[in-house]
Amino acid sequence: LALGRLHENKAFDVLLDAVSRLPDAYLWLAGEGPLRRELEGLAEKLGIKPRVRFLGWREDIPALFATCDLFVCPSRLEPLGNVVVEAWAQGVPVVATDSLGPGTLIEDGETGILAPVDDAPALARAMALVLDDETLRSHIARQGREVFEDHFTEAVVTDTYRDFFEGLLP
């Protein structure tokens, strides 16, 4: 599963190239954007069109996470990495590129697997590593969920803001 705006920054072209290197992998890509037709054409050119579903804009993201084996964030530019946190919240293992947000959030090999930006062969290897190793897949999903619970739940974020603002009071 991958999701986001179908834009050059998200590097879904690199993800399609990576999927083409994994003959047993299927991809659900949720999102809309200016590159949709171009990406659909690339999937056809790479011979993976039957294994790729362009889902468009979706409101049922938790249901998509519940049915996937892996979440991939292939971004060239991803300043925050909120999608990584969303995957962690759902207990889904993450493979991402080492762009700013994911590279800061993910501890490689513990809370996800990182691959270099714009490197389809490396992204494919990272995906295969997780897909082929149930122990690793479970480990990074569990560790990612722990990071979510420790740092990103509504209660934790609310407490952090409250403590910050209370610290500003005289």
Task: Look at the domain 2-168 and name its fold.
Answer: Rossmann fold (3.40.50)
Domain boundaries, the chain: 2-168
Residue 165 structure tokens: 């603002």
pLDDT band at 37 (very low <50, low <70, confident <90, very high): very high
Give percent of the chain above pLDDT 90.
91
Residue 49, classified by CB atoms within 10 Å of its CB into exposed (0-12), middle (13-18) or buried (19+), is middle
Mean pLDDT of 46-68: 97
Distances (CA, A) of 115 to 19, 72, 169: 14, 10, 44
pLDDT band at 135 (very low <50, low <70, confident <90, very high): very high
Measured at the CA of 56, the angle between CA 32 and CA 68, to 5 degrees, comes to 115
> What is the model's pLDDT at position 170?
83
- Mean pLDDT lowest among 18-22, 51-55, 75-79: 75-79
pLDDT at 169 over 90: no
User: Rg of the chain over CA atoms, in angstroms?
Assistant: 17
Q: pLDDT of 154-163, one tens digit each?
A: 999 999 889 8
Instruction: Tell me what the pLDDT averaged over the chain comes to.
Output: 97
pLDDT at 87 over 90: yes
